[in-house]
Amino acid sequence: MGRDKVKKPPDPGGGWLVTFSDLVTLLLTFFVLLLSMASMDQSFITRVTIMPAELGFLDKRGSGRVTAKVKLVSEFLERPWEVLEKQNRIKDLLFPDDVLPPDMDRATLDENLKVLAKPEGVALVLTDKLMFPLGKSELDERAKILLYQLVPVLDYLGSADVNIAGYTDNVGGMRPSNFRLSGERAMAVLTYFVEQGIMNDRLTVSACGPTFPLYSNTTPEGRAQNRRVEILIKTTPPMGGY
C-alpha cells in the first residue's frame, strides 16, 4: 500500500504583505496622533481640577484673559491667615474708587464692608445698607455694581464652593419673618451670581435670622452692622480633609 502524499499548504504568495502593511499603517497613524496631541495648543485646556483625598480646590482657569487684579485678589483669598492684614488692600482691589456707585463714597464702603477669616475660607461681609432697601429683599442697583466686582474672582477660583448667608438684627427676635427675610436676601445674591454665569452647584444659602450677631444689638449702630450678608468663599479644606 503506497504512502499518502503529504499535502503542501497553499502558497500564500504576497498576501501576508497586505496584513503587514495594514499594521504599519496603524502604527504610523497612532504615532502621528501622539505627535499632534503633544503639540496641541495649550489654550484649549480651560480647567484642570485636582482633588486628591479632598486636599482642597486647586483648579485654575488656563485660558481667557484674567486680569492681574483678579489673580492677586484670588491669592489673598486663598490665604485666610493673611486676610486681616490685607483687608484694606483687598477692598481697594475689588472696589476701586472708579467702580463705586455714584452715591457711595469710600468711607461708607469701608464702614459697611468687612473681610473676615473663617475656618473654611474667607467671608466678605456686606451690611444691608450696601445691598437692600430697608426691610426688603430685592437687590438695589448699587448692590449689583458691588457684587459684579466679585464675579471674575469667583469664576477664577473655579470649583471653590460659596455659601451665602443672610442675617438680621434682633428686632422681632426669633420670629419666622426674620429668618424668611434673611433667606430671601441670601437667595437674591445667589440668583444674581447665577445670572452672571457662576455655576449654581457651587452656591448654597443659609438663613440665619438674628443668630450669630457680630456686634451688640443694644445700639442702632450695632444692629445696622448685624443686618448683613456674608459671602463665604471656601478655599480651605474642611477639618479632617487631610
From CA 112, how far away is CA 227, in angstroms rounded? 10
- Any idea where the domains of the chain sit in the sequence? 50-233
Cα dihedral value 5, 9, 10, 14, nearest 10:
-150
Segment 216-233 shows an average pLDDT of 97
Provide the CATH topology of domain 50-233: 60s Ribosomal Protein L30; Chain: A; (3.30.1330)
Nearest to 206 by CA among 224, 226, 225, 190: 190
**Least confident residue range of 8-17, 55-64, 84-93, 106-115:** 55-64
Secondary structure element (H or E) that encloses residue 229, with its range: strand 228-233
pLDDT score, position 28: 67
Q: What predicted TM-score, i.e. pTM, was given to this entire model?
A: 0.73
Q: Is-contact 214 226, C-beta < 8 A? A: yes
Average pLDDT of 41-64? Answer: 36
Assess whether pLDDT exceeds 80 at residue 54. Answer: no
Give dist(CA 146, CA 112) in Å, integer.
Answer: 12
Q: Which three three-digit cell numbers place residue 39?
A: 503639540
Over residues 161-179, the pLDDT tens digits come to: 999 999 999 999 999 999 9
| Per-residue model confidence as pLDDT tens digits over 57-105 | 434 444 457 899 999 999 999 988 888 889 999 999 999 999 999 999 9
Q: Per-residue pLDDT tens for 189-200?
A: 999 999 999 999
For position 128, what pLDDT does the model report? 96
Residues 135-156 have pLDDT tens digits of: 899 999 999 999 999 999 999 9
pLDDT (0 to 100) of residue 24:
66
Dmax over CA atoms of the chain, in Å, equals 125
